[in-house]
Structure 1
Amino acid sequence: MRKVLVALSVISALGLIACDNSKEKAEADKAATEAKAAADKAAADTKAAADKAAEDAKAAADKAAADAKAAADKAIEPAKPNP
């Protein structure tokens, strides 16, 4: 009978250890997943900001080119006499 109780105690102890290890692994996996999600969000935010900055810079360059062309066209127009 004593051997059975010792065996049950050993099995119970092993079960508790396995449970604790599973819980720690689950917590570590959750932390890693949260960290990856935060990193992915930061990368997406950075990319969105860079894309917006590039779009704004292109729009400004296009406007400057259009303004320069309009100024050049105006400079080339012949002067109209005043009546």
Structure 2
Amino acid sequence: MKKIISVAAAAALGLTLAACDSPAENQMEDQAEAIDEAAEATADAMEDAGMEEQADAVEEQGEETKDAMEEAADDMDATPQ
């Protein structure tokens, strides 16, 4: 779970510093979706292994990371260049 958070934070920071145009925003949103999907897949595997509470936490963290990245991506176009 911490690895997912680290990857998401690094990706968000890198894209924020690298570019502030719509293609970058779309790329960040795509990465956010990929992170959320990976978290869901991990959570599904954890549920299959009987780790219900941990699975819920992983899935929730993936959703929170996705939401934060999408918000950051939306703010990219709002930033004056």
Please confirm whether the aligned pair reaches a TM-score higher than 0.5, indicating the same fold.
no
Larger Rg: 1
- TM-score between both structures, scaled by the size of structure 1: 0.37
- TM-score between both structures, scaled by the size of structure 2: 0.38
Task: Kindly indicate whether structure 1 or structure 2 has the higher relative contact order, using CA contacts under 8 Å at least 6 residues apart.
Answer: 2
